Chain A
């Protein structure tokens, strides 16, 4: 391991760690919105199953809810693309 590390140039190690950090950050940032989208869709499906006549309304609210929740993941994406070497 030390031999491998010793063979890297001075900046390569930092660049590699930056890439790993960016990927990890993006992955971690996607967990919360994933849970949020699951909650939104689960409740929308429950509403549609209970009252099929209001399915259109539930789908509209669900779509907007998903899109707003996705914005949180996009913040993680922005950090990812800015950190990416």
Chain B
């Protein structure tokens, strides 16, 4: 086994999961109007509100999951294992509590648009994100953004 102390030292510098989660959140903001409008068309104002809550929960789930990994990997690999598994349990439990509270809070919550948005956005955003992930040694997280090429004519005009 190799020495993993450098891994712990690098953990705070290279944070691919945090970058991916932030990129997922950015994409969720792009698709949010679509789901809110579909929820509003199908179920009225309650559908729109429920879809918006589901989107917020999906984004929060990604961001919290990434934050847990980033924090735990800077401690040790054993901490990473424990944190991810207990993080999974805690996040699922929190989702259940939120669902029970929302369902019991009144007539303004619609379960069907909430459930559809939650599942479709989670899987859809992840599938979309895999097209923008590099996962190589040079770029462990997201693909690098292309640098705009400056032509000689543009260079002369400057």
- Are A57 and B84 in contact, with the CB atoms below 8 A? no
For chain A, what secondary structure do more than half of its interface residues adopt (helix, strand, loop), or is it mixed? Answer: helix
- Are B17 and A49 in contact, with the CB atoms below 8 A? no
Interface 1/0 per residue, A44-85 and B, CB below 8 Å: 010011111111110111111011101101110110111010
Give how many A residues have a beta carbon under 8 Å from the other chain's beta carbons.
39
- Are B81 and A77 in contact, with the CB atoms below 8 A? no
For chain B, what secondary structure do more than half of its interface residues adopt (helix, strand, loop), or is it mixed? Answer: helix
The smallest C-beta distance from B19 to any residue of chain A, in angstroms, reads 9
The smallest C-beta distance from A78 to any residue of chain B, in angstroms, reads 4
Give how many B residues have a beta carbon under 8 Å from the other chain's beta carbons.
50
- Interface residue ranges, B against A (CB under 8 Å): 1-4, 6-7, 10-11, 14, 16-17, 20-21, 61-62, 65-66, 69, 73, 77, 80-81, 84-85, 88-89, 92, 95-96, 99-100, 103, 111-112, 114-115, 118-119, 122-123, 126, 129-130, 133-137, 140-141
